[in-house]
Structure 1
Amino acid sequence: MALNFHQLHIFHTVAEKGSFSYAAQALHMTQPAVTMQVQSLEDYFGTKLFVRSTKRVELTEAGRTLLPFASRSIELMRETDIRMSKFTHMLEGRLHLGASLTVGEYVLPRLLGPFGQEYPNISVSMKVINTKQILEEVLSHQLTFGLVEAEVHHPDVHTEAVLNDELKLIVPRRHPLAEREQIGLEELAKYPFILREQGSGTRKVMEEELARAGCDVSALKIVMELGSTGAVKSAVEAGLGISIVSQSSVKHEAALGVLQVRNVEGVSFARSFHAIYLNSTLLPISAVTFMTFLRERDLSQWL
């Protein structure tokens, strides 16, 4: 029997999860299949890799020795996919991903056309929900990976930046603040404010940056919390308040002049859109190819 990467990946996942059943769930395998592959690896090396107990499995000395090599093999496989994805123009398959609302409604639709022209045999299926929901579905294995608006911190999830973005203040056309290019931070509290819902990546970034600049978010006159950027824009356009949203989401309204886009003095709302997926997941080559496309192409020509 030859040593193979699949067995090393399974071994690494069992070690990471501390459980054959949790590893099986993460790998979309049955528990007996996971056990069999680990036993085959133990037979190959002629030694036990885990000490099994009723509550948890622990690495033996041999298992602790093997673990860093398994980790390196996984990273090498991921790097191999990234490097080779540049050449996979005839790749076929289905790309299924989750995208948070701003990414899914305003950014990716402008990029899927160019991506489809370059990779015509990859079909795309996209689920648009907020960042919190995407994280939940990645953790529950309903989504393989997602693109979200704020960095996610979770021990089981890998996060990497793939796109840059910036939030801007938006005001109605005839609003008092529309006459000025730069808006003072203290002036935000003077006007009704419209926010995205809790769990939104846009809201998280906005609150973090305002707090960093010394602005107490609770001091804002919050009159509405809405579940989509489109609803926020419509409410601002109707004169119900002001808001802070992704500049990529208001290009059309700014061009028509129905919304005015302004900077807030002393505050930079620069951010990155992030890809998230489980640490134990090796992404399909179609997903790796898509993320390579986002990272390495000049996207400004389409956004």
Structure 2
Amino acid sequence: MELLQKLLNSYGVSGDEGEIRDLVQKEIKKYVDETYIDKVGNLIAHKKGTAPRIMLAAHMDEIGLIVKRINQKGKIVFSTIGGIDISTLIGQRVVVQGDKKEAVGVITLDALSSGDPVKELPKITDLFIDTGLDKEQLAKSGIKIGNYIRFYGNDCCFAGNGEFICGKALDNRVGCYVLIELAKLLQKEKHDIYYVFTVEEEVSSYGATTSAYSISPVWAIVIDTTTTDDVYSTPTRSLGGGPCITIKDATTIGNKCVNKWLEDTAKKNNIPIQYDVSEYGATDALTISVSRGGIPTTAVSVPVRNIHTVIGMSDTNDIKNTIKLLQLALRKPPKVCLV
């Protein structure tokens, strides 16, 4: 899990994926025939082979913030990038990127600074970042409207008896880790596999749209993360319960043919799986599935607690079982999967 920790501690807010892309490219290039970056910033790693042409996709980007306004005292008002629960932001440490120099700051609000009790949940417009610098000092660092703000990294840790990994950007550095491990394990397989690390999933699935169009795979699988509901008496998505096969989410119904192939592989090899049936959330599977004339697509997701917050929690056994499931399934992939 050392590589996963590196991925979690790297930065890559939607639209600013350069650092994480460089790390992923460095790690995966030894396992494939070629890697390249397309016009929108997706990293594509290709293991050449015979039919079928397979696309495995995981988004690189993470949620974050962007500078919206700076007042004379140096208060940095921000806008969110991706879906973030505002209640989880207060008191969090962030790094404001500058053209010349970065600034570390803390998210706060006036009521906390003055000692007044907070009587209701604040709005995003009530929050600001305090770096201890005024507007002029921030300007000298090259900090201005439009600069990215990322959550502080290097806080990756293990919980429980060591089986739970905690950190920022589990959504979706877990998926990136799974793809790199699969590339390592499937080097000698004969199939034509594209490992695609997409950009801007958290805001638009823009990267998945363009990469699916250019690759035109026979079918595709998205590797992502999903919420847990294991606080309920009858949970369907629990930490430790195995990878989740998407039946439906807010925007997509998983391809039945691909899902059955994955289910059969799991049953044959005694791999625990779960089913994701949700009214919320979406993945790159939507835009891939409607690309060109339609691409049969599903998503396999690793459960994450506190998803879309500054720090989440995932069970390493679920990650390992996701890799195992996909590795075994991809040894005998269907040549065609329609319905």
Which one has the bigger helix percentage?
Answer: 1
TM-score by length of structure 1 reads: 0.25
Choose 1 or 2 for highest CA Rg.
Answer: 1
Which one has the bigger strand percentage?
Answer: 2
